[in-house]
Chain A
C-alpha cells in the first residue's frame, strides 16, 4: 500500500473542508479563508508589489468566494476556481488604480518610462545597492504585461500546474507555456537592463 504523503493528507483535509463549505457550513468557509488567505494575498502582492492593493484584492477574492461557493462544481476544482476569482480581483483592482494614475501620468508612457527615475539614474548599480535582490525582482516582475505576470506568478510562486493555469485563464496549455516563456525572457531583459546581479540569490 502506498504511503500517504503530507500533501495527500493535506489535500484530503482540504477536500473535506471544501465539501462542507460548499454545503454552506460557515465554519468550514472561515477555515478555508484562514488556510488560503496568505497564498492569495501573496499572489496579489507579487502582482501589485503594494500591500494596500494586495489586501484589497485578497479581501475581494474571499468575499466573492463566500458569495459563490455554492456554484463550485467539485471540490477538486477549488484551487483553480479560487485563483480565477483572485486573478479577476487583481485585474479589477489594477483597472481601478490605472484609472486613478491616468489623471497624473502620460497614458502612452512605455515600460522603460514607468520605472521610477531614482532606480535608473547615472549609476543604477549603486542605487540598487540599497534594495534587496528580492525587492528588485518584485519591482521588475511588476513591469511585465498583465498576462505574462499572471502566468509567471502562478507558476513560479503559487506552484499551479500548466493545466490548472490554463483552466484559471481559460486558455490552452500551449498559450500558458508561451506566455510563461515570454514573461521569463522579458524578466531576463529587465534584469540585464537594470544590471541586477542574480548571484546575490
Chain B
C-alpha cells in the first residue's frame, strides 16, 4: 500500500483514478488536517505557476551553420558586433582607397560638409537637399559609377603603359637596326618576338590583376548581401521556433487540462 505522501502527490497531480480516487477523497473528508495540507499544496502549486519563463536568445554558436548563417570554421569573434565592425571598417577602407585613386574633394559650408571623389561635386549637390539620406538605389548607382570610373582609369593606365613601352621599344629597335647587318636583321626579328611575348605577358598580368581586384570586390559585396540575408533568416527561424514551442506548450497545456480528473469532476 502506498504511503500517505505518495497518495497526496498522486491526488494533486491527477494520478488517482476510479475507486482509488473515491477512497482518497472520502478519507480526506474525514481528515481535516490532511484536507488543509492538500489545499495549501494546491495553492502553492498555483503560485508556482505564476513564475514566468525567462526570455532568452539562442546563442548562434549552438544552432550550427545552417541555422545561424555563420560560415564553416568562422570563429566566435567573427559573429555579431565583430562581424559588423569588420564589415564597416572594410567598407570605409574601400571607399578611402577609391577616393585616393580618383582624387578626393572635401568642401565645407552652408551647414554641411561634402566629401566627393573626382569631379561632380556640383552635380551631386543638385540632386541632394541638405540632410537627405542616400537610398539603396542611389548608393548602388554611385558605386556602379565609381566602379566604371575605376575600370576606365585602370584601362587608361594600361593603354598609357603599353603606348610608352611601344614607343620606347620602337626607338631602341630603330637605333639598333640603323647599324644593321644580315645577322642584325635576324637578331632584330628574334628580339621583336621576345618583346612581343613580354608585352603580351605584361598585358595578361595587368588584366589578371584587374580581374582579381574586381572579383574580390564583387565577392565582398555578395558576401555582405548573403550575411544580411542570413541574419534575417536566422531572426525568422527564431520566430518560427518560438511559435512552434508556443504551439507545443499550448498543446501540452490543453492535454494536461483535459487529462486532469479535477477538471473532469468540475464538469
Q: B-contacting residues of A (Cβ < 8 Å)?
A: 5-10, 13-14, 26-27, 29-31, 33-35, 37-39, 41-42, 45-46, 51, 54-55, 59, 62-63, 133-134, 137-138, 141, 152, 155-157, 159, 162, 174, 177-178, 180-182, 184-185, 187-188, 191, 198, 201
Interface stretch, picked from B155-163, B199-207, B247-255, is: B247-255
Chain A, Cβ-Cβ closest to B66: A27
- Top 7 nearest A-B pairs by Cβ distance? A7-B251, A6-B251, A30-B64, A30-B67, A10-B248, A181-B5, A201-B50
- Knowing A31-B67, A181-B8, say if A59 contacts B59 (CB, 8 Å): yes
Q: How far is the CB of B7 from chain A (nearest CB, A)?
A: 9
B248 touching A6 by the CB < 8 A rule? yes
Q: Is B13 an interface residue (CB 8 A)?
A: yes
Stretch at the interface among B79-87, B141-149, B236-244: B236-244
Residues of A within 8 A of B6 (CB): 174, 177-178, 181
A170 to chain B, nearest CB (A): 19
Q: In the complex the two chains form, is A184's CB within 8 Å of B41's CB?
A: yes
User: Are B9 and A180 touching (Cβ within 8 A)?
Assistant: yes
B53 at the interface (CB under 8 A from A): yes
Q: Is the CB of B62 within 8 A of A37?
A: yes
B51 interfacial by beta-carbon distance below 8 Å: yes
Task: List the B side residues contacting A35 at CB < 8 Å.
Answer: 241, 244-245
B56 A188 Cβ-Cβ under 8 A = no
Contact assessment for B51 and A138 in the assembled complex, using a CB-CB cutoff below 8 Å: yes
Q: Is the CB of B46 within 8 A of A201?
A: yes
Q: Beyond A38-B58, A62-B62, list 15 extra A-B contacts (CB 8 Å).
A: A5-B251, A5-B255, A7-B251, A14-B248, A30-B67, A33-B64, A34-B58, A34-B63, A34-B237, A35-B244, A59-B62, A156-B45, A157-B48, A159-B256, A184-B41
Note all chain A residues with C-beta closer than 8 A to B50: 133-134, 137, 201
Chain B residues with CB under 8 A of A34: 58, 63, 67, 237-238, 241
Nearest CB of B to A82, in Å: 13
Assess A45 versus B54: contact at CB under 8 Å? Given A6-B248, A177-B6, A198-B47: yes
The residue in chain B whose Cβ has the minimal distance to the Cβ of A37 is: B58
Bound: A159/B66 CA distance, A: 30
- Which residues of B have CB within 8 Å of A178? 5-6
* Residues of A contacting B256 in the complex (Cβ-Cβ under 8 angstroms): 159
Tell me the bound Cα distance from A178 to B40 in angstroms: 17
Please report the C-alpha to C-alpha distance between residue A159 and residue B5 in the assembled complex, in whole angstroms: 20
Smallest CB gap from B46: residue in A = A201
Contact of B47 among A6, A42, A137 (CB under 8 A): A137
Report A-chain residues with C-beta under 8 Å of the C-beta of B251: 5-10
